[in-house]
Amino acid sequence: MDDQLNIDEQKMETEDEAMEQEPTHGSSKKKIIKVSVAISAVFVLLYFANILLGQFRGPTGYQIPTYTVENELMRVTVTAGGALQALRSHEVQSKVEGSTQILNIIPEGTVITEADVEEGIVLMELDASDARERLEQQKITVEDASASYTQAKEDHTIQKEQNESDISQAELNVRFTLMELQRYLGDALAERAVDGGIDFESREWQEDIGGAALQRRRELENAVSLAGEELTRTQENLHWTRELVNQGFVNRNELVADELEEKRRKVQRASAEEDLELFLRYTLVKEAEERLSDYIESKRNLERTRARARGRMAQAEAKLRSRRSSYGLQEERLERLEAMIEHSTVRASRTGLVVYASTTDPRHFRNSPVQEGLNVRQGQTIITIPDLSTLAARVEVPETQAQMVRAGQTAEISIDAMSDNYWKGEVRRISPMAAQQTGFSALTGGAGGYETDVIFTELGGNTDLKPGMSATVEIEVARIPDALSLPIHAVHTRDGRRVCWVAGAEGPELREVELGYYTDTHVEIRRGLKENEQVMLAQPETVPRDVRVILLPERDVESQDDDMPDIDPPPGLEAPEAEEPEDNDRDDDDAGEQIERILEGVAPELRRRIEERLQDPERRERLMEQLKDPESREKMLERMQDPASGERRQDGRGRR
């Protein structure tokens, strides 16, 4: 009994000293420390009350403080720590090609107002001297490209008209050669010749000639006929001349003249016949084939002219497109250079707080913070302007409590730097997945939290709130008007069941209970207890063999309350799986979580050294084994003192 009292008194003294030595980090942390001290004081008072008043004395003679079960309002909250963030932000990036230098930049922390936006206050000025030099050269290039484009358009028009003229002339040649063929052979025979229905080696087709060829044949035939008639007439005259010479009426000279005339007429007739034969055998065939060939060649020339026209037109169009694209590209470059020069001076376009990118994302800037003279590349974010009207507390809800948090639940937000102020909030978003663990948490398998955004519902126009401020959020997940509740340490796990020791009239009873919601200190009892029953705050050191065990009856499916959510038990009251071999990996996980919790209060430099040592598998395994032993764990806590302050730091997130 005296040992227990001494432990409680030492606990109170330790907490009083921690409260006196710990610097103020916000009202949330103070409130948590006060609650812890108050709870310890209550336990001590209850202990003394049980001794003095003898509220319960078990059948074996030991004394244990009890807790009276009552129906009272139970407000279930989840406390989580994090920082303020703006849900909407505007990023100011460099729009100058390549790498450029910051000439001037607005001081970080400046608040941009509506008046600043209307005035067009300068946020940043980048070096655009190189762009200005390129701009002048680009103007000359654009002029040359414009002239080439104009020339290409004129050449395209000329080529189009030339093609139309060439094709028209070729079509006329086809028409004229066909007309010439028809004029010479006649329409019918010319059509047969075009269709390839004439065999020029035979003379059968000559019977069907018409046009100029028919006219020529007739002329030659008439010449032969006329020469024959003149020869006949000359021969008749010669006959009568011979008769007159024999009778002595004419002299012989006239006879000789008539004989000569007969010879001349014979020669003329033979010549006419020869001309007709030459015409039919050679001239007619030659002239017909020449005209047919001219027609066929004119058609071929028409196709060639059209093909040449298409080729030349394609070249002209390609040249036009090339010049147009080149001109457009050069104009686009000119516009881009002009825009670069214009964007080298960045003006405010919206309200908010000026935050340098090296502050929000230091990894990308390393040892070169955003400042005048810094070289930045195109597209690199230089300034972030959070919208202060969208400020929210972004916190990590522990994995064991995340199932109780829902969007729309009310919350209370406190800022560590403003310990006397509280703001009302509302849960806006809960990440569907737990945050990925890095560093030591990933090494030891520590449990991750669920990223949760809690917005301010009544900000009140406060301009002192800034992104990055440490914040603590208390989310009200349930409000139970008449709840039966117990301190968490009054509930135990026995044979996979949640039980508590009840001070019965005939001695202690081991009562199975059904748990509901829980807070950092109390847990809701849904079944198993009644109002005004006395529950032991600790289990007996020696359990009587004849102890009475009362189990819960099986719940009917129809009687289950659908509105009652299933809540995971508080940490430490999880039911173990029945008849399973010991899981060393689970012990390692528990030890890893304990390491994480221990190191949360350790100085940064000491934490870094511990994490480096834990990279060695043998050291890590040895540390895991030590943490499984309570005495070794306490000794380790004593060794892990912060050299700067000589004491363990409290959890910055205000864990109760």
Summarised one tens digit per residue, pLDDT across range 458-497 is 876 666 788 888 999 989 888 888 888 889 888 988 888 8
* DSSP state letters, 431-450: -SSPPPP-HHHHHHTPPPEE
- Of 265-279, 356-370, 382-396, 634-648, which gets the smallest average pLDDT? 634-648
> What does the pLDDT read at residue 628?
62
> What does the pLDDT read at residue 643?
42
Work out the pLDDT band at 384, boundaries 50, 70, 90.
confident
- Residue pair 496/578 in contact (Cβ under 8 Å)? The answer is yes
Q: What is the pLDDT of residues 111-149, one digit of tens each?
A: 888 888 888 889 888 888 888 888 899 999 999 999 999
Mean pLDDT score, 37-62: 45
pLDDT exceeds 60 at position 654: no
2 vs 341, which has greater pLDDT?
Answer: 341
Map tokens 């100085």 to a residue.
Answer: 603
Report CA-CA distances (Å) from 281 to 191, 276, 287: 22, 9, 11
Burial class of 500 by CB neighbour count within 10 A (0 to 12, 13 to 18, 19+) = buried
Max distance between CA atoms of the chain, in angstroms, equals 207
Residue type, 123: L
Considering only CA atoms, which of 383, 379, 381 is closest in space to residue 97?
A: 379
Q: Residue 149 contacts by C-beta under 8 Å, 6 or more apart in sequence?
A: 320, 323, 324, 326, 327
164 vs 626, which has greater pLDDT?
Answer: 164
Task: Determine the distance from the C-alpha atom of residue 484 to the mean position of all C-alpha atoms in its chain, rounded to a whole number.
Answer: 51
230: helix, strand or coil: helix
> What does the pLDDT read at residue 497?
87
- Residue pair 523/568 in contact (Cβ under 8 Å)? The answer is no
Map tokens 């932000």 to a residue.
Answer: 89
**CATH entry 3.60.70.12 includes domain 64-87+392-576:** no
Residue type, 630: P
The 8-class DSSP code of residue 87 comes to S
Work out the pLDDT band at 632, boundaries 50, 70, 90.
low
Burial class of 484 by CB neighbour count within 10 A (0 to 12, 13 to 18, 19+) = buried
Relative orientation angle of helices 252-278 and 211-247, to the nearest 10 degrees = 160
> What does the pLDDT read at residue 10?
45
Query: What is the spatial distance between Cα 530 and Cα 161, in angstroms, rounded to a whole number?
Result: 107
Report CA-CA distances (Å) from 556 to 50, 251, 553: 40, 171, 9
Mean pLDDT of all residues in the chain? 78
Q: What is the pLDDT of residues 581-629, one digit of tens each?
A: 444 455 555 555 666 666 655 556 666 666 666 666 666 777 766 666 6
pLDDT exceeds 70 at position 440: no
pTM of the model: 0.48
Angle at 390 between CA 385 and CA 392, to 5 degrees: 110
> What does the pLDDT read at residue 11?
42
pLDDT exceeds 60 at position 565: no
Q: Where are the domains of the chain?
A: 1-54, 64-87+392-576, 89-127+346-386, 138-341, 583-656
Relative orientation angle of helices 604-613 and 584-600, to the nearest 10 degrees = 150
Q: Could you tell me where the DSSP H helices lie in 603-649?
A: 604-613, 617-628, 630-639
Q: What is the pLDDT of residues 174-220, one digit of tens each?
A: 999 999 999 999 999 999 999 988 888 888 888 889 999 999 999 99
The 8-class DSSP code of residue 363 comes to G
> What does the pLDDT read at residue 148?
94
Sign of CA dihedral 561, 562, 565, 566: positive
> What does the pLDDT read at residue 3?
42
Q: What is the pLDDT of residues 274-320, one digit of tens each?
A: 999 999 999 999 999 999 999 999 999 999 999 999 999 999 999 99
187: helix, strand or coil: helix
pLDDT exceeds 60 at position 576: no
Asked whether the domain spanning 89-127+346-386 has the same topology as the one spanning 64-87+392-576, the reply is: no
Mean pLDDT score, 261-271: 93
- Residue pair 8/65 in contact (Cβ under 8 Å)? The answer is no
Work out the pLDDT band at 266, boundaries 50, 70, 90.
very high
- Provide the residue count of the chain: 656
Relative orientation angle of helices 211-247 and 129-185, to the nearest 10 degrees = 30
- Residue pair 266/231 in contact (Cβ under 8 Å)? The answer is yes
Mean pLDDT score, 546-571: 65
pLDDT exceeds 60 at position 5: no
Burial class of 469 by CB neighbour count within 10 A (0 to 12, 13 to 18, 19+) = middle
pLDDT exceeds 50 at position 93: yes
Query: What is the spatial distance between Cα 246 and Cα 266, in angstroms, rounded to a whole number?
Result: 25
* 353: its two tokens: 């707080």
**CATH entry 2.40.50.100 includes domain 89-127+346-386:** yes
Q: Residue 574 contacts by C-beta under 8 Å, 6 or more apart in sequence?
A: 493, 568
> What does the pLDDT read at residue 59?
40
Report CA-CA distances (Å) from 596 to 42, 396, 635: 30, 15, 17
Contacts 24+ apart (CB under 8 A), 628-634: 628/587, 628/591, 633/594
Q: What is the pLDDT of residues 336-383, one digit of tens each?
A: 888 888 888 888 888 888 888 888 777 777 677 888 888 888 888 888
